[in-house]
Amino acid sequence: MFRIFALCALFAIVRAGGVSKATVKIQGDTVSGTVTFTQQGATVLIQGEISGLSPGKHGFHIHDKGDLSNGCTSAGPHFNPYKKNHGAPSAQDRHVGDLGNVVAGPDGVARIDFTDGLISLGGERCIIGRALVIHQGEDDLGKGGNEESLKTGNAGGRLGCGVIGIL
């Protein structure tokens, strides 16, 4: 926890000088890619590509820890400082780390380009030093009708992950 706070504090200092970007390199057994985060006022622009996926929707979440000592498993649960239920990116009731789904085309590549108004590159919703995880299946956005849906979105196993760092 201290490590994440220290990284966010460092980023706040750097950001005062005009830097407002972070990046993560996603690695897994079959998947790889890079995602960048650009602070644009109150929102964050998320762009990148992840390849090696099966075609279709894949859960896409910021997890609480930047610990990958045991692969993606050690990244912990979704980043959820307000202790809310899992939900869609547009929902009032959602984890800060709930970014919904990305869609891989027939070529197995997810091309990512959207904004989010809840995550941040500074402050209490800072994602610096946390893990970005791409999941095996579709995130049901908390509408699966069971307890696990309200925790994880039933998105399945963790295919790839990486720690978000300052660019």
Confirm whether 58 is a catalytic residue: no
Which position has the token pair 């069971």?
A: 146
Confirm whether 111 is a catalytic residue: no
Phi-psi map region of 138: left, alpha, beta (phi>0 left; psi -120 to 50 alpha): beta
Catalytic pick among 63, 94, 125, 130: 63
Catalytic pick among 58, 116, 135, 140: 135
**Is 64:146 a contact under the CB 8 Å cutoff?**
no
Task: Please give the single-letter amino acid code of residue 158.
Answer: R
Catalytic pick among 86, 94, 125, 130: 86
Catalytic pick among 58, 94, 125, 158: 158
Structure-token pair, residue 63: 């997890």
Residues 54/60/61/66 CA torsion (nearest 10 deg): 50
Catalytic pick among 64, 98, 116, 139: 98
Confirm whether 135 is a catalytic residue: yes
Catalytic pick among 58, 94, 95, 130: 95
Confirm whether 158 is a catalytic residue: yes
Catalytic residues: 61, 63, 78, 86, 95, 98, 135, 158
